[in-house]
Amino acid sequence: MLDAVLRTIWTVITLPFRLVIWLVEMLGRLTGLVLGFVLMVVGMALMAGPFIILGVPLFIIGLLLTLRSLG
C-alpha cells in the first residue's frame, strides 16, 4: 500500500517535467519533418533543372531526415 502511494506521489511530482520533455521531443520531430520535407522539395526542383548533381543528394538527405523524424 505504501509503495502504491509513493508511486502515485512520484508520478504527480514528475508529470510537469515529463510533459516538457515530451513537448521538446515533439517539437524536434516536427522541425526535422518540416526541414526534411523542404529539402526533398528543393531537391526535386533542382533535379528538374540542370542541377541534378545537387538535387539527388539533397533529396536523399531530406528523405532520410523525414523518415528519421517519423520513426
pLDDT at 50 over 90: no
Strand segments, DSSP code E, in the chain are none
Give the per-residue pLDDT at 49.
86
Average pLDDT, the chain: 94
pTM of the model: 0.77
H or E element at residue 50: none
pLDDT at 46 over 90: yes
Nearest to 68 by CA among 56, 1, 60: 60
The tens digit of pLDDT for each residue in 4-25 reads 999 999 999 999 999 999 999 9
The tens digit of pLDDT for each residue in 27-37 reads 999 999 999 99
